[in-house]
Amino acid sequence: MVIKHIIDFLKGFSQGLKENAISLIELECAEYENLFALLVVGGLVGMPSPPTTLSLRLLPFLEHELRIMTSMTLNLDDAFGRIAGYFEA
C-alpha cells in the first residue's frame, strides 16, 4: 500500500517534470502555428500576403492555426506577461 503511494508519487513527479520540460516546446509550437496563420491570411490585417489562391487553397485546413492566432491576438496586450510567466520571471 505504501509502495503504491510512493510509485504514484514518483509517477506524478515524473509527469510534472515532463510537463515542465515540454511547456516551452508547446509555447514554441503555438508561436509557429500563429506565425504560419499570420503569413497565410496576413492580407486580412494589412500584411503582405501570398498569392490569394495559395491562401484560399490552404484556408480550409487551417482551423486550428486560426484559433491559435485569434487567441494570441486577443492576448497581445499582455504578451510580455505571458512570456515572463513561462520563464517564471
Partner 1 sequence: MRVKFFVGKGGVGKTSVAASYAVYLSTQGYKTLIVSLDPAHNLGDILGIKLSDKVSQVGENLFAREVDIDREISSYLNKIASSLKMTYRYLSVLNMDSYFNVLRFSPGMEEQATLESIKKYVFSNEFDFVLFDTAPTGHTLRVLSLPSVSSIWVDELIKIRRLILDRRGIIERVKGKSPQSLPSREEDDDVMRELIKIKEECLVLEKKLRSEEVTYIPILNAEEVPLIETERIVHFLERFGMHIEKIVVNKYMPDKILKQKEVMDKIITSFAKYEIKVIPYTDESPRGLEKLKEVCLACLI
**Least distance between partner 1 and beta carbon 45 (Å):** 15
- The answer to whether 52 and 43 have CB atoms below 8 angstroms apart is yes
**Minimum distance between the CB of residue 77 and partner 1, rounded to whole angstroms?**
25
**All 3 cell numbers of residue 53?**
489562391
One character per residue 17-56, x = contact with partner 1 (rule: CB under 8 A)? -xx-xx--xx-xx--xx-xx--xx--x------xxxxx-x
- Is residue 61 near partner 1 by the rule CB under 8 A? yes
Cα distance between residue 72 and residue 78, in whole Å: 10
Q: Does 16 bind partner 1 (CB under 8 A)?
A: no
Please return the burial class of 69, using the count of CB atoms within 10 Å of its CB with bins 0-12, 13-18 and 19+: buried
Cα–Cα distance between 20 and 3 in angstroms, integer? 25
Q: Given the rule CB under 8 A, which residues bind partner 1?
A: 18-19, 21-22, 25-26, 28-29, 32-33, 35-36, 39-40, 43, 50-54, 56-65
